[in-house]
Structure 1
Amino acid sequence: MNTLMTGNEAIARGVYEYGVSVAAAYPGTPSTEILENIVKYPEVYCQWSPNEKVAMEVGIGAAIAGARSIVTMKMVGVNVAADPLFTVAYTGIRAGLVLVSADDPGMHSSQNEQDNRLYAAFAKIPMLEPSNSQEAKDMVGLAMEISETFDTPVMLRITTRIAHSLSLVELNDPIERLVKTYERNPRKYVMLPGNGRARRLVVEERMHKLADYTETVAVNNMELKDQSIGIITSGISYQYVKEALPTASVLKLGLTNPLPSGLIKEFAAKVDKLYVVEELEPYMEKEVRLLGINVIGKELFPPYGELSVRMVSEKISGQPVITVAPVFDAPIRPPVMCPGCPHRGIFYTLKQLKLVVSGDIGCYTLGAMAPLEAMDTTICMGASISAGLGMIKAHPEMAENMVAVIGDSTFLHSGITGLMDVVYNGGNLTTLILDNSITGMTGHQHNPASGKTLMGQAAPQVDFVALCKALGVKRITEVDPFDLARVKEIIKTEVAAPEPSVIIARRPCALIIKNTEKPLQVQDCTGCKMCLKLGCPALSFDEVNKTIQVDQALCTGCGLCINVCKFKALRKAGDA
């Protein structure tokens, strides 16, 4: 049976078909839907972890205990998981362990653009790269086979286009799901320096064996056609090459660490002119050059952003691709917080107070966008608090005029240690925890504070007040972010306090609560446009009649704009 699947859905199907027992992840686009689809297969235990490092360690523990395991994350998540990843490359595993790294060329939903093929090379672990959904599913099985054959974790590296594009997948019955018995082996799994030095040699021996294996593995193969042009490629770039240059000879690589040097030399000898087509870093190109082979690569293609069929065609053949369908320029629509978003009032107030705001990763990062424009920095998950501490240590006077802002899920991910650092090192920083009861930015995944697990089971909820007290914070205040007057008063008070403080702004995400309020109405508007400074997409200005309009389909009736309007022109339906 064949069915259309995204790459993420196909990986989840591969997890089901190839006997995986444990799956762990922290949500991050473009990888999030993998776990959300695995949970549809009740045979597999799956969980959201507080962060990627924890997810990696859960997978490692399960694999050492004897269960096939998979861990998924976006590419920046591997930065967080790198510590256990590099060490499990030394220890090896007992049952298959696969790390899915979902890279994001073009930064569709990421704060940086990194090429995690370099992580596989750095960690000295094998890496597979599928070029469509069928291969994404099949490579879960191949990765498990390689993992168990060579006693190593395996990286399955996908990109946004593979993760989210649909292609046909053949569905098969699952193999028997077996969990091996645990075997105690401290010399293998306890990474004291003495044991580590012995395992370091194992890693090198393994890479030599993998170098032989990669020469004959079926996912590395030559497609010989017109031999005047030869192209080495992998992943989604293979699809661009096949569409742009259907008659060219291609060396398609699916196992890309280690690269098959013998196969590359053989292919290079068969073609007149050799190209490497790859997104982001010249990862394969550099390896080809080290073999003494003349190749064309990044002279033509940029080391950033996504490639395309058009770019490949124009750069290599000099001919643009003829498109049948007309191309339309879509209007630019900047990202904006949803109508009724509880974060909006916080950032409106922060801008009013003209505070320096050390920001973080989440929906609330949109507080940096016009018209709110109330965020000064965003570095990575959890950095708001730590960076805020650094700023006030550099300029102590900044403490009287700055706050750190972080969401509930991000605080649990990597903000707790930052707040602990503030207390420990005497930083009088005010931290705002924006608790909207869910992991909002990636699509409403549960976390340790939401009261439910990925598999739908009820779970204890983290008590943020008790947690902050345990970290040593003495000044903790809870506020409703829609109560603008109190929010403003509390922020001013806490920023002025000469010690660490925490403000917990608590109100559920507007998309997870059933709205019972009626849309607002406008009456006797003066056209001052003060309410537009909230940046609510339900509000617009009628240039003809010089009045505010409320989009009845978008308005949630939250009433935030009522608190902003000085002329009482905005009101709830039925109010006098």
Structure 2
Amino acid sequence: MKELMLGNKAVARGLYEAGCGVISSYPGTPSTEITEEAAKYPEIYCEWAPNEKVALEVAHGAAVGGKRAACCMKHVGLNVAADPLFTISYQGVEAGLVICVADDPGMFSSQNEQDSRHYAVAAKVPMLEPSDSQEALDFTKRAFQLSEEYHTPVLVRMCTRISHSQSIVVQGERTEVPKKPYEKNPERVMMTTNSLKAHYRVEERTRAMTELAETTDLNRMELGTDRSLGIITSSTSYQYVREVFGEQASVLKLGLSWPMPVEKIKTFAAQVDKVLVVEELEPIIETHCRRIGVDVTGKEVIPLVDELTQGRIAQCLGRDPKPTLTLEDDVPGRPPVMCAGCPHRGVFYTLSKNKCMVYGDIGCYTLGVMPPLNALDLNICMGASCSGLHGFNLAGGAEHEKHSVAVIGDSTFAHSGITGIADIAYNRSNSTVIILDNSITGMTGHQQNPTTGKNLRGEPAGQIDLEALCHAVGFRRVRVVDPNQLKEVDKVLKEELAAEEPSVIISRRPCVMLKSVKKAPPLVVDLDKCNGCGLCMKIGCPALSLRDGKAEIDRTQCVGCQVCMQMCHRDALVV
């Protein structure tokens, strides 16, 4: 059966057809839909784990237990999962273990654009890179075969453009793979001599897979009529190369991007006049080619930063880009902004009003940096706000402690904030952490998490009691506020900043975009009372604007949260 299929959905279909039995993941754009789509197959157990490290360990445990398993994450999630990845590479697997990682060139929803191919090289595990949805399905199935044949975890590297584009896919049937029996083997314990022997096995495996790279159809030589230039490429860059150079171009497409072939690249280079490497982000292929003595042109002309497009490649090489559909009108840009009625808005307004240094984290609330709130000072990675605030306060003492806070979402707190607040409680800095509990994982599309009481499929699940947990790790001061009550938030913030001990403020109100949240009637403006002072505009709600010197409310966006009503001294905003 043929279907126009999203790249991520095709990966999920590949996991299903390969007989995968267990998937544990943490949501992260652009990888999220893989697990969401896989969860639609009842034959596969799927879960959201608290973080990517846990997800990989769960998937590995399932593989040790004899079932084909997978985990999915975005590129920065692989940083979190790197600890188990490197040792699992040494230990090896019997049942197939596939790790799907989605990179984000261009940083459409990420804090950096690192290249996950470095992890394949460093951890010495094979990596496959599909260039369309059909390959996403096929390569996922091949990944399981390679995993079991070479006793190794296998990385499948997606990227934003392959994950979120659609192409025709021919689907197959599911192959039920018998569960492999568990056999006790003391050599799996990675210590001293066992680890040293394992490293030798990894090097032998890499040599064997390098030989495979020479012959596998995953690496495809496409010699066209034009031999003046040969192009070595992979992933989505292959599609751009074909768009720019056409079918007559000579191309070596690397689907197995690590380990890379040697003789195949040399053979290809010998049949063309010059060799160009086109790859997104880091010069991984280029460096390999130069190391094996193949003269190539690469990052001298192909950008090192940002997502590639056929237009960028054409421009860099002095070719005319193909015409694209454009609008005649000059459409103004739409800056990212928190939704109308977002429960985080009241907290950020209060923090901004109190001139707090705000150590941010990763989630919807990162948008608190946008004007007019201008509330966020910095962010690094999941969970860093808690431990980072602790360090900031150690550096500044009372001068910092009385004016600084960390903000972190409920899902991010479960991901990696707990250890940060444990450090604060244990080492006793007077740090104030605000947990923005909106009852969901918001930024990646409303996935459940360990604080919501529901699992991936929406069924009842265990639920973290945030107040009890904070008390358990050593906080005596734990306060809960409604972020839409500005006076309450301001009062509690001032009290906790003044306290001479660590404290946690839980800002609790569900995400306004949840289907279960009932919307209140939109507000209206009493034009006779409004004098256009603009105080209501300080909360940065997209439902509010000024027209003809008066406040105006967009009734299609307003959800009646009434935060703006508390800003108006003339009672001009009414229900």
Cα distance in 1, alignment partners of residues 192 and 105 from structure 2:
38
Following TM superposition, by how much is the alpha carbon of 1:517 offset from its aligned partner in structure 2, in angstroms? Answer: 1.2
Alignment of 1:289 with 2:294, yes or no, is no
Match of 2:497 among 495, 498, 505: 495
- C-alpha contact (below 8 Å) 2:448/2:458 kept by paired residues: no
Residues in 2 aligned to 1:160 and 1:516: alpha-carbon distance in whole angstroms: 33
Residue 319 (structure 1) shift: 1.9
Within the alignment, does 1:242 sit opposite 2:231 as a pair? no
Partners in 2 of 1:431 and 1:118 — Cα distance? Answer: 35
The amino acid that maps onto 1:530 is L
- Confirm or deny: 8 A CA contact 1:19 1:178 kept in the other structure: no
The equivalent residue for 1:473 is 475
User: Deviations 1:418-456 (Å, cap 9, x if unpaired)?
Assistant: 000011111110010010000011011001110110123
CA distance in 2 between counterparts of 1:444 and 1:177 reads: 33
Q: Is the 8 A contact 1:22 1:59 kept in 2?
A: yes
Q: What SS does the corresponding residue of 1:214 show, helix, strand or coil?
A: helix
Asked if 2 retains the 8 angstrom alpha-carbon contact of 1:338 and 1:536, the reply is yes
Deviations 1:102-124 (A, max 9, x none): 00000000001100101100000
Q: Is the 8 A contact 1:29 1:74 kept in 2?
A: yes
Q: What are structure 1's unaligned runs of at least 5 residues?
A: none
Report 1:45-60 matches (<5 A): 45-60=45-60
Residue by residue over 1:19-65, the C-alpha shift from the partner in whole angstroms, topping out at 9 and shown as x without a partner, is 00001110000000111100110100000000000001001101111
Report how many aligned residue pairs link the two structures.
568
Amino acid at match of 1:242: R
- The answer on whether the counterparts of 2:510 and 2:517 sit within 8 Å (CA) in structure 1 is no
Secondary structure, counterpart of 2:109 in structure 1: coil
- Counterpart residue type for residue 9 of structure 2: E
Q: Find the residue that maps to 1:378 and give its secondary structure.
A: coil
What is residue 310 of structure 1 aligned with on the other side? 311
| SS of corresponding position for 2:214 | coil
**Map of 1:103 onto structure 2:** 103
Deviations 1:534-572 (A, max 9, x none): 110110100x2x100000110000101011111110011
Alignment of 1:112-131 (within 5 A): 112-131=112-131
Name the CA distance, whole Å, in 1 between partners of 2:331 and 2:476.
Answer: 51
2:482·2:489 contact (CA, 8 Å) conserved in 1?
yes
Give the structure 2 partner of residue 199 of structure 1: 198
Find the residue that maps to 2:106 and give its secondary structure.
coil
Q: Whole-Å Cα distance in 1 between the matches of residues 189 and 215 of structure 2? A: 34
Q: Which AA in structure 1 matches 2:542?
A: P
Q: 1:43 to 1:427 in 2, by over 3 A?
A: same
Deviation (angstroms), 1:508: 0.5
Classify the secondary structure of the residue corresponding to 2:570. coil
Alpha-carbon displacement from aligned partner over 1:137-171 (angstroms, at most 9, x marks no partner): 00111100100000000000011000000000001
1:435 to 412, 434, 437: 437
Partner of 1:168 in structure 2? 168
Aligned-pair CA distance for 1:291: 1.1
Over 3 Å counting, the alpha-carbon distance change for 1:51 and 1:126 in structure 2 is same
Amino acid in the other structure paired with 2:530 = C
What residue is the counterpart of 1:357 in the other structure? 358
CA distance in 2, matches of 1:192, 1:18: 33
- What is residue 423 of structure 1 aligned with on the other side? 425
Q: How does 1:63-102 map to 2 (within 5 A)?
A: 63-102=63-102
Following TM superposition, by how much is the alpha carbon of 1:192 offset from its aligned partner in structure 2, in angstroms? Answer: 1.5
Q: CA RMSD in A?
A: 1.0
Deviation at 1:324, TM superposition (A): 5.6
In structure 2, C-alpha distance between the alignment counterparts of 1:549 and 1:314, rounded to whole Å: 45
Matches within 5 A, 1:369-448: 369-396=370-397, 397-448=399-450
Query: SS of 1:525's equivalent?
Result: coil
Name the residue aligned to 1:518.
Answer: 521
> Which of 490, 503, 506 lines up with 1:504 in the alignment?
506
How far apart, CA to CA, are the structure 2 residues paired with 1:209 and 1:259? 11
Match of 1:533 in 2: 538
- Give structure 1 regions of 4+ aligned residues with deviation exceeding 3 angstroms: 324-330
Residue 330 of structure 1 deviates from its aligned partner by 4.1
Rounded to whole Å, the distance in 2 between the matches of 1:324 and 1:345 is 43
State the percentage of identical aligned residues.
54
Question: For residues 365-397 of structure 1, what are the alpha-carbon distances to aligned partners after superposition, in whole Å with 9 as ceiling and x for unaligned?
Answer: 111111101111111100001110111111112
Structure 2 residue aligned with 1:337: 338
Amino acid at match of 1:358: Y
Which whole-Å CA distance do the structure 2 matches of 1:258 and 1:135 have between them? Answer: 18
Give the secondary structure class of the aligned counterpart of 2:574: strand
- Unaligned 5+ segments in structure 2 are none
- 1:246-285 equivalences under 5 Å are 246=246, 247-285=248-286
Which is further off, 320-329 or 97-106?
320-329
1:392-428 CA distance string (max 9 Å, x none): 1111120011111111000000000000001111111
Partner of 1:30: 30
Report the TM-score, using the length of structure 2 for normalisation.
0.98
Q: Which amino acid aligns with 2:470?
A: C
Give, in whole Å, the separation in 1 of the partners of 2:493 and 2:62.
Answer: 45
Q: Equivalents in 2 of 1:135, 1:286: separation in Å?
A: 25
Question: Which AA in structure 2 matches 1:511?
Answer: M
Q: Structure 1 residues 327, 553: CA separation in 2 closer, same or farther (over 3 Å shift)?
A: closer
Give 1:179 shift.
Answer: 1.8
Give 3-state SS (helix, strand or coil) of 1:505's partner: strand
Residue 218 of structure 1 and its aligned partner are, at CA, apart by: 0.5
| Deviates further, 172-181 or 532-541 | 172-181
> Are the counterparts in 2 of residues 65 and 94 from structure 1 also a CA contact under 8 Å?
no
Alpha-carbon separation, structure 2, partners of 1:515 and 1:235:
44
Tell me the residue number matched to 2:453: 451
